[in-house]
Structure 1
């Protein structure tokens, strides 16, 4: 992204599910001018990502989890 600055018409979606990779890319994307910045993962994964990225400029622009809400739910095992 350093060699190809992002513009408002660009979108960045992180999808490796590896925070070491995704969060580095998200930090770079949020520092740029991408019109859409998001990451795949569950709501719980996204909540953790937001905690780890606290204080990153532009964090309020991060959409997540990216994709369609399929209405999935977990059943509590008992």
Structure 2
């Protein structure tokens, strides 16, 4: 069996949303329309859905409450 297929199946079983019936579509985790977690990501460290914002300088996604690594250079 293809290893990528096995990984996708494993991720599908473990990734869940506590606000909607989320699912995997073509290997992409998708929330239902209107889910409050739609534009959030799962933070495994805190085990919560966390808002992300886009850094004004470099454009990378950064977890809410954290500072982008590009600010460390200044």
Pick the TM interval, shorter chain: under 0.3
More strand per residue: 1 or 2?
2
- TM-score, with normalisation over the residues of structure 1? 0.23
The structure, 1 or 2, with the larger RCO (C-alpha pairs under 8 Å, 6+ apart) is 1
